[in-house]
Structure 1
């Protein structure tokens, strides 16, 4: 993994979402016969020596034999990031939401390779930051904690407090030619489009 070796990063899958817009548990929606969660998990197990789940009810994932960390600050992805980073044995964690249909190994490896000298490595998309497929180091803990203590759960408001390597879309495009690495499915309509077959494209929001 270049600057970050496989054993130096803990893979963290955020599983605390309520799937309100979807109306059912997004983690276990199947695409091409495989649950979304399983797609992320397999990539992480190939990429990292340690994989943990953050924020979810342990019984939902009882069959996977993985640690499930209850959020220290419940109710947001930022709380899940803080929890995992606080409890990780490694200096860095790589975080992903649990519902990516097309998690991209090349993008993951590239982001990890950029970590030297930075507290965080975060992709950018045409829509803005992508904080839930990103790498964070222990130096992020204090600014995240202070923000959570203020009751601010924005996943990226604390970025100005640390040295962040932002990775623009053009830099990632050769690794993600279809533009699907950060595809996110939030509604039954989007999932229906995906299940019906979209040619490997992310359904329109």
Structure 2
């Protein structure tokens, strides 16, 4: 299994390059790469971002201006691994422990698409996708369908594992044993889309999960 940071967005709501916005003293893209490597995965960056190659090797988009789905297509098209874990660059509160759980779950279910849900909502940008989805994803992109959940679920068909993250975390205490403060699992999936989102996270710096907290 390889892993990819999805970092090809235009950051219009942030007003500046989201991938390079600092969190805990380091760019968000560096935080994401760190999480993937901490989970025992080889990290790549998916998106037309050669300027980020100092953080990890990058895979350029083949379908431009198509959002995260274009980055997923580019990663799957490399053929480097059957299963591929994806993490959005703007999800700094995600934990390496949960990413390792995704690897574990896929090894059991072998589902073509493994997508956690939080409060009933799919979280398709912290998920694992099999290379067999490539054809369906390309068809979606060619038809103008850029929504990740719809494209992936259509491509996966019945070979889909859509599971409740809350239910798993409730019984897997090992996933939260390194959390400090009042960190709640739903915040792991919090996207940093605006400066206000970032400020809210920084205000709660004590609420943090991580086996190896990076120095600010």
Q: Which residue of 2 aligns with 1:143?
A: 136
Describe the superposition over 1:81-115 as per-residue Cα deviations: whole angstroms up to 9, x where unpaired: 01101103111110011122212112111112121
Mapping of residues 1-205 of structure 1, within 5 Å: 9-59=1-51, 61-64=52-55, 66-75=56-65, 76-115=67-106, 116-126=109-119, 128-158=121-151, 159-162=153-156, 163-174=159-170, 175=175, 178-179=184-185, 180-197=187-204, 199-200=206-207
SS at match of 2:192: coil
With normalisation by structure 1, the TM-score equals 0.85
Alpha-carbon contact 1:10-1:48 (below 8 Å) kept: no
Note the C-alpha offset of 1:127.
Answer: 5.7
Q: What secondary structure does 1:173 align onto?
A: helix
C-alpha displacement at 1:17, in angstroms?
0.8
Unaligned runs of 5+ in 1: 1-8
Q: Deviations over 1:174-196 (max 9, x none)?
A: 33561222111111112222233
1:199, CA displacement in angstroms? 4.2
Displacement of 1:50 after TM fit? 2.5
Provide structure 2 residue ranges, at least 5 long, that are not aligned to the other structure. Answer: 177-182, 209-216
Give distance in 2, aligned partners of 1:190 and 1:117.
35
Superposed displacement of residue 49, structure 1: 4.6
Deviates more, 1:116-125 or 1:130-139: 116-125
How many residue pairs align between the two structures? 191
Note the aligned Cα RMSD (angstroms): 1.9
The aligned residue for residue 4 of structure 1 is none
| Secondary structure of residue in 1 paired with 2:145 | coil
Change (3 A) 1:56 1:161: closer
Shift of 1:129: 0.8
TM-score, reference length from structure 2? 0.81
> What secondary structure, in the 3-state scheme, does the structure 1 residue paired with 2:69 have?
helix
